[in-house]
Structure 1
Amino acid sequence: MGLSKHSCDVWQCGGSVEVLPCARIAHIERAHKPYTEDLTSHVRRNALRVAEVWMDEFKSHVYMAWNVPIEVSCGSYRL
């Protein structure tokens, strides 16, 4: 799931995200990561929070992507 805050901001403001094959994007990683190697639970929790706050009627798509029942709210969702 490639959901990020910036893509949601763009979408909410009526913009679009384009895929350009000639684009170059870089990411500089830390030499030492102070967090756990398995970020799946954190990413899922954040994706569900973003869905609840910003996605309105489309939030069900995020819940389906993470295989989480829609009745579970992210506020009470515990991993």
Structure 2
Amino acid sequence: MHKYRPILYIYKAYATPAVRLDGSTVITNQYQLVKTYSSAIMEFIAVTAYQNQRIIQMKKTHNSYARGQRGASCGKIYDTVSNGAHI
């Protein structure tokens, strides 16, 4: 398990016109950091291993990214074709 504390960065964007060598104008964006915010209330713990069997089963059932928890046949999306019958 790992404990994380997100940091929120707030930037102000400025649209600045710039003139190219050929005379055309292009808009460029420049950013200025306004505020950085982090708080203990934003902390969370990422769980990588579950001890509760009901939670493990729920994760297997509802989480499409939990392929490592499933059996060998559950992760297959297609059936294999024998003898090259279908091309």
TM-score (norm 1): 0.21
Larger Rg: 2
